[in-house]
Structure 1
Amino acid sequence: MKKTLLFAGLMGAASLVHAQSSVTLYGIVDATFAYVSSEAKSAATKGSRVFQLSNGAQASSRWGIKVQEDLGGGLKAIATLENGFSATTGSALQGGRLFGRQAFVGLDSPAYGQLTIGRQYEFGFWFVGDITAARTFATQWGAHVGDADNLYSTWRLNNSVRYISPNFAGLTFGAIYGFANQANTGGGTGFANNRSYAVGARYERGPLTAAVAYTELDHPAAGNSGNNSGGAVTDAVPNTGIFYLASVTRQSIVNSGLRYRFGEFAVGGVYSHVRLDYLDHTSLHLDNYELNGTWSPTPALLLGIAYIYTDGKANGGSSILNFANGNKPAWNQFEAGAVYSLSKRTSVYAAAIYQRASRDATEASLNLVGGPAGVGTSRQVAVLTGLKHTF
């Protein structure tokens, strides 16, 4: 009788634990039809216009699994596995990884915050990115030139440990460190060879959102084509990443954003500073200034416009020759877009993006359109429309 009661009690406890755990399947399927005025295979080849059907520009297609288990006292075990794929070809993105968008496990507490380990976003994307026009209405093609500030997550951090604080009256902060996973053997290799770290903070209360983040990557080129493919950054740089055609030894990024909502309208501003140090001991500084505004005349419709100015400063060397003929390149970018929700899960969108290379810049290069404008082409235009379904 005692054994029977003990067994029943254990089964009841197991059922209770099971009831407090959850597994959620989620995803996005997004496809885009677009016209690009000039697209080339590389910065050194001639471009031509193209009509294309591609994976979603507004929210790249994905599916994922979220796991949550209640450990008691408010503490939860969490895990996320998220795969990126092309809606038009079915192929895996992020270099063919099974869970290339996110893959992490950790603990979450309302009192102490969240600690996670795995492949994760850094804080420029996490805290500042959604203030940009690209994340709001202009799609990933409307990101800042080359997405050098990573506000649209061209790369993520492998081997990373991330902490995010609880929400203190609207304020959240955090830090992340991505390990190189390499022994300190000298000769340019070691624990700092392809490592990364970042810190950030975000304040969101009422109509106001403000965010700031700092990110540094040491020897990121070692992960793409160098001597440490197992380090923090191993995402292949797209051929629209014109600033990475030469090997980067260090990249530092300051991202900041501010948005204010009033009624149907919202106004946002984003500033980012990127410094790229190259193997030839030269450097490039990029200052991105963005002003954007949105209007929602109905709950189902969002309209937006934005202007982005990118101010570049270099100090010579061959690293800039693929996109500039002097030390002061600049780019002007204009964007307009609309998103209409057919239901809570399905929406249609359209956007037009124009970029012009100016001053010493010789080539336009919209983010992820398929290729830069091509040698000697200072203007690039993209007009696109798409359909997105969320489940």
Structure 2
Amino acid sequence: MKRSAFLLAALGAFAGAVHAQSAVTLYGLIDDGFAYVNNVGGHKLYELSAGNLQASRWGLRGSEDLGQGLRAIFTLENGFSPNTGALGQGGNMFGRQVFVGLSSDALGTVTLGRQYDSVVDFTGIFMAADQWMSYYGAHPGDLDNMNDTLRVNNAIKYKSPTYGGFTFGGLYSLGGIAGQFNRNQIWSVGASYYAGPLALAAAYLNVKDPNFSFFGNNPLSSTTGANMSSRVYSGYASAKTQQVITAAASYAFGAATAGVTYSNTQFKDIGALAGLPATGRGGTAKFNNVEANFKYQITPALVLGVAYDYTKGGGVNDATYHQVMLGADYFLSKRTDVYANGVYQHASGTDSTGQQAVANINGLAASSTANQVVATVGIRHKF
């Protein structure tokens, strides 16, 4: 009896020590609301709209202390619709992100898996749609991916420690096709600097065969047809390369914060991928985007925001998009908030389809006219 009791006590002590060295956390959020759209294909739309401020999700993240400031880490994150229960990201079980890696206090973090690119990590967080605004307020079609619509499969990622407010990182995705090293290749780099009220960031993203490697990397994606649906760029599905350059800055003064973002997005060598839309075949479609945003913390529980976004097409198109955004977010507690926001977009010129440009707010089907308005109210609960 004494011997058995001793063994049980020793095993219990060992289990406690292991538990103290590792941790797994279950987390998530549910965001749902009601949306009104004045024009979708010529008709008004009333619907429940999920994942407005943040997409609904649940996930597991964990770490194991390996000693001397080194940790093994992992994240599994699922996206879903609270209105239907359907999986997000085209039916991926862990479509939002899933990775494993090592993190060192001195050397930084290396992870492997399905992950966000450097544009998302470094500059996306400065835009209104990543703060107090819904995803409807992303830049038209989220053409620069600053609102993290798309993830990167088969990615190797590095992020440095912070050195005096400066952080940098990069990502590389292997195409995985024998004999064609550059096919479906994706890579990005970025950096940020924070000094008191001032924040600065920049990032670069380069995507080969974007219709398949970036827009078409989910289970329900087409392996032969077009996966780029927004009229802002759907006519460029046959482009060989998508290139995105971004920069952002913000400055906080008292309860207010002003921010600005810039992106240059190009779809190059249109027509290189056979059998796909190729408006402006052989050329390059260019988009310059500038957003200015402002938010004010009225009380610790209430924030108000306003933003203006301008997108100008060039190269093989001359489409122009003006977008105005308003939003309010009120926190009932640390984990629960209610919100209201609205977006107005006006389009002009000729878009990627070669036709008169029509308004096409991110996440919606196109309007039948040059104008489109969406208004949303909702609730978000984190757990």
In the aligned structure 1, how far is the partner of 2:132 from the partner of 2:239? 31
In structure 2, the residue corresponding to 1:248 is in which secondary structure?
coil
The residue number in structure 2 matching 1:26 is: 27
Q: How does 1:62-211 map to 2 (within 5 A)?
A: 62-184=57-179, 190-211=180-201
CA 1:109 to 1:282, structure 2 compared with 1: closer, same or farther past 3 Å? same
- Quick check: 2:323–2:346 contact (8 Å CA) kept in 1? yes
Q: Cα distance 1:27–1:3, how it changes in 2: closer, same or farther (>3 A)?
A: closer
Q: Partners of 2:218 and 2:378 in 1: how far apart?
A: 35
Instruction: Tell me, yes or no, if the aligned pair for 2:211 and 2:227 is still in contact at 8 Å.
Output: no
Q: Is the 8 A contact 2:207 2:214 kept in 1?
A: no
Q: CA deviation at 1:104?
A: 0.1
CA distance in 2, matches of 1:308, 1:288: 7
- Equivalent residue for 1:38? 39
The reply on whether 1:271 has 2:257 as its aligned counterpart is no
* Cross-structure match for 1:301: 302
> Cα distance, 1:284 vs. partner?
0.6
Report if the CA contact (8 A) 1:117-1:161 is conserved.
Answer: yes
- For residue 244 of structure 1, what is the aligned residue in structure 2? 234
Aligned residues of 1:122 and 1:156 also touching (Cα < 8 A): yes
Any unmatched runs of 5+ in structure 2? 272-280, 352-356
Counterpart-to-counterpart distance in 1, 2:218 and 2:115 = 17
Contact 1:162 1:176 in 2 (8 A): yes
User: How many residues end up aligned between the 2 structures?
Assistant: 362
Q: Which residue of 1 aligns with 2:381?
A: 389
In angstroms, what is the RMSD of aligned CA positions? 2.4
The match for 1:378 among 343, 366, 370 is 370
Deviation at 1:51, TM superposition (A): 0.7
1:258 aligns with 2:259: no
**TM-score, structure 2 as length reference:** 0.89
Aligned to 2:17: 16
What is the CA–CA distance in structure 1 between the aligned matches of 2:334 and 2:5, rounded to whole Å?
Answer: 50
Structure 1: which 5+ runs fail to align? 41-46, 185-189, 316-326
Partner of 1:351: 341
Instruction: Give, in whole Å, the separation in 1 of the partners of 2:164 and 2:4.
Output: 51
SS at match of 1:38: strand
Letter in 2 for 1:23: V
Identity %: 42
Deviation at 1:273, TM superposition (A): 0.3
Looking at structure 2, the residues matched to 162 and 223 of structure 1 have their Cα atoms a distance apart, in angstroms, of 17
**Is this contact kept in 2: 1:107–1:116, CA < 8 A?**
yes
**Bigger relative contact order (CA 8 A; separation at least 6):** 1
User: How many Å separate the matches in 2 of 1:367 and 1:194?
Assistant: 25
For residues 198-252 of structure 1, give each alpha carbon's deviation from its aligned partner in whole angstroms, at most 9, with x where no partner exists.
00001123111111000000112234798x989xx99x94633530343221000
Distance in 2, matches of 1:224 and 1:22, equals 33
**8 A Cα contact 2:185 2:213, kept in partner:** no
What is the CA-CA distance between 1:299 and the residue it aligns to? 0.7
- The two structures have a TM-score, normalised by structure 1, of 0.87
Give the 3 Å change call, closer, same or farther, for CA 205–252 of structure 1 in structure 2.
same
Any conservation in 2 of the 1:295–1:302 contact (CA below 8 Å)?
yes
Aligned-partner residue type, residue 24 of structure 1: T
| Equivalent AA in structure 1 for residue 325 of structure 2 | E
